[in-house]
Every structure is written in structure tokens, then in C-alpha cells.
Amino acid sequence: MLVLGIETSCDDTSASVLEAPRRVLSSVVSSQVEFHKAYGGVVPEIASRRHMENILPVIESALKEAGVELQQIDLLAVTRGPGLPGSLLVGLMVAKAIAFAKKKPLIGVNHLMGHLFSPFLEKEVEFPFLGLVVSGGHTSLYLVEDYLKIRCLGQTRDDAAGEAFDKVSKLLGLGYPGGPVIDELAKGGDPKAVPFPRPMAQEGYWFSFSGLKTAVRNFVLSNPDFELKDLLASFQEAVCEVLLLKVLKASEEFRISKVVVAGGVAANSRLRELFLQAAGERDLEVYFPSPKYCTDNAAMIALCGLELFKRGRRDDLDIGVLSRWPLGDPL
């Protein structure tokens, strides 16, 4: 069985061909970073225009790379939300058109679900597991018992972890996206140099990163000559430590020893180091997708579409995009 995955929820246009059960035949991602750089963040109008230009060539190269013709595709899996409505619409409309023309089933997939199961593209993880999704738009912790049994333990009250990286980078004039830049510039810095707060450390499974960004701004205003790499390493440490702390708390409370860390921020080298170090010290197994599957990609959408299809899900051709679409049931 062959699945064509399509993902256009934010600023990456992506398409992937997946052969059941989980062989990625192609995963093409066309980044728009160059077009958004000058603005220090994603401009929704530019994003949807670029998706319109890119989507067909990206699908064509995904099919070509996989050595597959469009008529061989058995299932269309497309990101339905959450995300930027204008961006989501482009992917959904193209997926619907193909499904209609080729008379193939269509499944709208939750983008967060894609991230959550992205490590499965490379390695099976046994249920139940704790899933931390940390990206530019989301920071959420889940208890996952099956593809259809997901409980949300908590999420961010304000900025997402990736958003904090992007905003701190912007306020320091370091460029966009901020995560990879800070990751690199913080190397060799002292993570204890500035005692930034560990936001919401005591508040259950909630997160908050907007105050941390303000703390960085205030610190820079009163210490303009401070060593940049120490400042960045300290900020990064505060984000990573608070993420680890919540996962360890959940692991103890629910007695779950498997942890998936996914989404763009899961590419962060210090985050990976801290989680792997914690895993080495206790009964904990941590699974990260490889960096190419941390950030937005259509292979993770194809995988979830296939699993939902196997569980009987089918969507009508009149489904619309969902710019907000919480994943899982609350605790």
C-alpha cells in the first residue's frame, strides 16, 4: 500500500511517499526560510503564496524520487490542522483534488500527531509512552496508549519553546529561525552563567516561555557587554531543564519509562544531551527522531494517515482546515 503525505501547515511545503508499513520512499521538503528571514518570523500571506507555487513541483519530485506514478497511490494523508489557515488550505485543496480525480480515500491528519509519532518512521516505540512535542507553535506533553488513545497532560500557557528560541534570537539580532542559531552559538558557553527562572516548574504539566524571553531582554538591557555564548547557553539551559523536569515528573507519576521527544526543538543538541543523560541515570528510554524528521515533514503525516486508515478512519471530501485542533483528550 502506498500513501502520499502532504504537509503545508506553516512555512515548509512537503510531500512524501510512504510504503506500508513504514518505509519512506521519499520525503521532500521545500523550505521558505529565505523568504521569511527578513521579517524575523513567518509571514502568513507569503507562506500561502509560496505553498501555491511549490506544492505541485514538490509532489512531483516526491513521486519521482519514490519511483511511483500518481495512479499507484492508494491513500492521501494531508495535514488538516493546526496551523496557518491559508497555508493549510493549499495542501488540503490539492489533496482533495487528487483524491477526487483518482477516486482514492483521504485522511486529514493532526500536525501534532504527526510530530508525536515521527520517531516511528525509523524505530518502533512500544506503548504506552510519554510524548513531548516541542516546536515553533506548540509545547505539549502527552500520555500515549495508542494512535487513537492520546491524553494531553499539559501544554504551554503562552509561547511555545521554539517560539522562545525564535524571539530571543530576534531580540538579539541573531537571525531566523532562532533555534539552530542559538544551538550553535551557545556551544562552549556556561549554562550556569545567568540564573534565568525555570518557569512553571511547580505547576503540574503546564509550561510558559514568554516570561523567560522577557527575562533575557531585561538581562541584556542591564548587562550589554555580557558574553553572548554564556547568555545563550543559560537561556537554552532554562528551556531544556524545564522540559526535562516535567517529563521526569510524568514518568514518575504515571510509571512510564518510554519517552518520545519530537518537533523542531527536539533537534536541539543540549536538549538531546540532557534527556539522554537523564535516561542513563534512571529507568528511562528516550526516543528522538533524526533531525530531518524533527522539523516539519510529510512522512510523519503519511505514517499517521496510514495508521488511522488501518483503524477505520475515512474523511469526506468536504472537510475544512482546522487552524486550532487540540490533540488528545485532557487528563
Enumerate binding residues for ligand KG4 (CB under 6 A): 10, 135-137, 162-163, 165-166, 177-180, 183, 263-265, 267-268, 295-296
Pairing of strands 2-7, 12-19: antiparallel
Residue 11 contact among Zn ion, ligand KG4, none, beta carbon within 5 to 8 Å by kind: none
- What residue 178 binds from ligand KG4, Zn ion, none (CB within 5 to 8 A, per partner kind)? ligand KG4
Q: How far is the CB of 300 from ligand KG4 (least distance, A)?
A: 10
Name the minimum Å distance from CB 31 to Zn ion. Answer: 13
- The reply to whether 163 sits near Zn ion by the rule CB under 5 A is no
- 3-state class of 6 per DSSP? strand
| Least separation in angstroms between CB 295 and ligand KG4 | 3
Residue placing its CB nearer to ligand KG4 in the complex, 296 or 315:
296
Q: Which does residue 237 bind out of ligand KG4, Zn ion, none, counting CB within 5 to 8 angstroms by kind?
A: none
Which residue number, 296 or 307, has a Cβ lying nearer to ligand KG4? 296
Classify burial at 123, counting beta carbons within 10 Å of its beta carbon; exposed 0-12, middle 13-18, buried 19 or more. Answer: exposed
Alpha-carbon span 231 to 190, nearest angstrom: 8
Restricting to residues 129-148, which ones interact with Zn ion according to CB under 5 A?
135
- Select from ligand KG4, Zn ion, none the partner in contact with residue 265, using the beta carbon and a kind-dependent cut-off of 5 to 8 Å: ligand KG4
Q: Which candidate, 120, 6, 101, 10, places its Cα nearest to that of 63? A: 6
**In the structure grid, which three cell numbers stand for residue 33, read together?**
526560510
191 contact choice in ligand KG4, Zn ion, none (CB below 5 to 8 Å, kind-dependent): none
Beta carbon of residue 316, minimum distance to Zn ion (angstroms, whole number)? 25
Q: Which is nearer to ligand KG4, 179 or 199 (CB)?
A: 179
| HSE toward the beta carbon, residue 295, CA cutoff 13 A | 19
CB neighbour list of residue 281: distance below 8 Å, 6 or more residues apart: none
- CB nearer to ligand KG4: pick between 91 and 98: 91
DSSP notation for 174-190: --SSHHHHHHHHTTT--
Site size for Zn ion, by CB under 5 A? Answer: 2
Round to whole Å and give the CA distance between 320 and 2.
24
Smallest gap from Cβ 317 to Zn ion, in A, equals: 25
Q: Which stretch binds Zn ion (CB under 5 A): 162-170, 211-219, 293-301, 314-322?
A: 293-301
Cα separation of 244 and 221, whole Å?
Answer: 29
Q: Are 11 and 33 in contact (CB under 8 A)?
A: yes
- The only residue of 159, 183, 237, 296 in contact with Zn ion, by rule CB under 5 A: 296
| Closest distance of CB 132 from ligand KG4, Å | 12
Phi, psi of 134 (to 5 degrees): -125, 105
> H or E element: which one contains 280?
helix 269-281
